[in-house]
Amino acid sequence: MEYFNWEGIAALVLGGLYGCIFGAIPGLTATLAVALFIPIAFFLDPIIALPAIIAISSVAIYAGDVGSSIARIPGTPASAAYLEELFSLSRTKGPLYGLGISAMGSAVGGIIGTVLLIFGATAIASLAKQFSSFEYFWVAVLGLTAGVFASGGSSLKALASLLIGILFSTVGIDPTLGFPRFHFDNPNLLGGLNYIVAMIGLFGFAEVIEHLYVGRKKVEAENQPQGSAIREFYIVPLVFLLKEKWIVLRSSLTGVVVGLLPGAGADIGSWVASSVQKMNARVNDKKTEDKAVLAGTSSNNAAVASAWIPALSLGLPGDTITAIVLGVFLMKGITPGPLLFDEQPSLLWSLYITFILANILLLPVFGFLTARIAATLIKVPFSILLTAISAICIVGAYAINNSLFDVWVMAGMGVVAFVMRRGGFPLAQVVLGMVLGPILEQNFMVSAIKSRWDMMSFFERPVALLLMVLTLVIVAVGVRVKGRLG
């Protein structure tokens, strides 16, 4: 096959390394990495460019966990879903173990997503084709509801954090009617608050302020296991993964289902899977944190693969990365759709093999390298890392839009997070509200306008009704679990 040449393999390896670097730095996301690669991709053959893009996205999603394990700064919105659990694991059991679970879970989830991509792309995409604004509205409600009960503390405080995030998401131009709002006559706010900038401030800069206020870190990495790096990163996480295979399977399928919905992607899949796992956690379970990380990481890479299903079958982007890839397809004269499977089978099989190699080889290899670096950095006194964290926050916030205003937004979000942490309000739900808020609002308004404000239309479609029932089930289970823990 055309794929098996030194150029394709070099593109795969270099793409993985490039994605590893980008994903590990807060603010430099997988989408940004792919976007910056596009000017180069236009001059490359699709057999070379597409494997590089797949490697970049797959590895970058995993690498977003590196910042979480070292300094409580998620590299991607998907990483924020299990931030506290991964950070705690890295501080108590070592970053090799924590990132080992992340890498192994990501690899298996990605393989499951790829298998479904190979055998069911056209069939599964037909399901996504049935989704309208009503179904997308209920998907957003489902994700927000799961986020409320995923918090380990008060559900009311989690709901308050979620509402704050939704409020932040309303800044700027109304996505449906086009009216400016909450911009306070500042043109910089017309584009809204970037949730990546907010995330850097909420988790990264807030950690700097917290350290300056408290004077020392409350949790230190002192009681970490001293076993071999190979054992801690590969063997122990693999044994745990085999023991909890049903969590991996359930979370991967969740990621696949969410990923195949146009516009959803790995971020929402990770939040839903990790939230469901946290809600199902048993009292006195010593592996609660491990399972939450495994669920989130299995889901996000499964969603990365399944996002290609609507892109290849229908020409609809499953996420922002596949939206960019569709542009590459069209520039190369490739038309996505059902005919692609008959006209260019070699290209499709090259994509399939790339996904498998990226998950079997690149994630374990690059994952181990980043985990070794993290294991070294985590031993450095936090006071020394403080300057580096501050610089990364500032550079990361500025790099997204090349805007100094974003740096001030990031700093403001750090102050907001500091105040919220004093009151015991969770921060991850703020990010969830900012991510799902626009999806919720836009699909509600579109559905309401086209049904002439007939609210019963939200309950008439079978899939929408099913999603509503699932939302009610999550509420019932969440209330019961909270009552049992309380």
The pLDDT of residue 229 is above 80 = no
**Mean pLDDT for the chain overall:** 78
What stretches of 133-280 adopt beta strand conformation (E)? 172-173, 180-181
The pLDDT of residue 119 is above 80 = no
- Note the pLDDT tens digit of each residue in 78-115: 777 788 888 888 878 878 888 888 888 888 888 888 88
Residue 409: predicted pLDDT: 92
- Note the pLDDT tens digit of each residue in 137-163: 887 888 788 777 766 567 788 889 889
- What is the pairing mode between strands 180-181 and 172-173? antiparallel
Of all residues in the chain, the percent with pLDDT exceeding 70 is 80
Residue 190: predicted pLDDT: 86
Please tell me the least confidently modeled range out of 130-144, 255-269, 469-483: 255-269
Q: Is residue 473 part of a domain?
A: yes
Name residues whose C-beta falls within 8 Å of residue 220's C-beta, 6 or more positions apart in sequence. 91, 382
C-alpha 17: how far from chain center = 19
* Residue (of 66, 32, 73) closest to 414 by Cα position: 73
Residue type, 25: I
The pLDDT of residue 385 is above 80 = no
Q: Is residue 449 part of a domain?
A: yes
Residue 485: predicted pLDDT: 46
Name residues whose C-beta falls within 8 Å of residue 307's C-beta, 6 or more positions apart in sequence. 259, 260, 264, 265, 266, 317, 318, 319, 321, 322
> CA-CA distance, 113 to 57, in Å (whole number)?
14
Q: Is residue 1 part of a domain?
A: no
Tell me the mean pLDDT in the region 292-299: 86
The pLDDT of residue 408 is above 90 = yes
The pLDDT of residue 484 is above 50 = yes
Q: Is residue 331 part of a domain?
A: yes
Q: Is residue 23 part of a domain?
A: yes
The pLDDT of residue 72 is above 80 = no
Q: Is residue 441 part of a domain?
A: yes
- Note the pLDDT tens digit of each residue in 452-477: 888 888 888 888 888 888 888 878 87
Q: Is residue 440 part of a domain?
A: yes
Residue 378: predicted pLDDT: 63
Residue 412: predicted pLDDT: 92
The pLDDT of residue 220 is above 60 = no
Tell me the mean pLDDT in the region 169-187: 85
Tell me the mean pLDDT in the region 73-78: 72
Residue 221: predicted pLDDT: 45
- Note the pLDDT tens digit of each residue in 187-215: 888 888 887 788 778 877 887 887 777 76
Residue 421: predicted pLDDT: 84
| Predicted TM-score (pTM) above 0.75 | no
Tell me the mean pLDDT in the region 376-380: 67
Domain containing 448 equals 6-485
More confident residue, 123 or 419: 419
Distances (CA, A) of 163 to 40, 144, 158, 432: 41, 10, 9, 10
For residues 48, 46, 309 and 196, what is the CA-based torsion angle, rounded to 10 degrees?
70
Please list the residues that pair with 180 across neighbouring strands: 173
With tokens 């009617």, the residue in question is 177
Structure tokens at 135: 């179904």
Q: Count up the domains in the chain and report the number.
A: 1
More confident residue, 121 or 236: 236
Residue 486: predicted pLDDT: 47
Please list the residues that pair with 172 across neighbouring strands: 181
Q: Is residue 49 part of a domain?
A: yes
The end-to-end CA distance of the chain, in Å, is 59
Tell me the mean pLDDT in the region 124-128: 60
Structure tokens at 387: 């300057």
Tell me the mean pLDDT in the region 233-261: 84
Phi, psi of 106 (to 5 degrees): -65, -40
* Secondary structure percentages of the chain, helix, strand, coil, to 5: 75, 0, 25
Residue 211: predicted pLDDT: 75
